C-alpha cells in the first residue's frame, strides 16, 4: 500500500566539514557536508603561513 523510499547510503567514516589539505594534489580543499566545495592551491595561498602549516599538520587527507 505505502512505499517508502530507502534511505540513501551513508559513506563509511566521518563526513568532512571545513578546510583540509589534500596531499595528493597539494591543495587546500573546503568540504561542506562531505562534498567538495572549493579548492585553493597551496603554492601562492593567501592565508598566513602559520595557518597553512597547522592545516597541513592537523587536517591532511
CB contact at 8 A, 42 and 60: no
pTM, 2 dp = 0.72
CA-based nearest residue to 18, from 58, 50, 53, 46: 58
Of 13 and 37, the one with more pLDDT? 37
Distance set, CA 54 to CA 21, 22, 42, 43 (Å): 10, 13, 13, 15
Question: What pLDDT was estimated at residue 23?
Answer: 95
Q: pLDDT tens digits, residue range 2-33?
A: 666 666 666 667 889 999 999 999 999 999 99
Q: What is the pLDDT of residue 31?
A: 94
Cα–Cα distance for residue pair 9/2, rounded to 1 Å? 21
Strands (E), the chain: 18-22, 27-32, 35-41
pLDDT score, position 49: 94
Q: What is the pLDDT of residues 44-54, one digit of tens each?
A: 888 899 999 99
Amino acid at each position: 500500500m505505502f512505499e517508502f523510499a530507502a534511505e540513501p547510503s551513508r559513506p563509511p567514516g566521518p563526513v568532512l566539514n571545513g578546510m583540509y589539505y589534500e596531499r595528493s594534489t597539494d591543495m587546500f580543499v573546503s568540504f561542506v557536508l562531505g562534498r567538495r566545495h572549493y579548492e585553493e592551491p597551496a603554492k601562492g595561498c593567501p592565508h598566513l603561513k602559520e595557518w597553512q602549516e597547522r592545516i597541513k599538520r592537523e587536517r591532511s587527507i
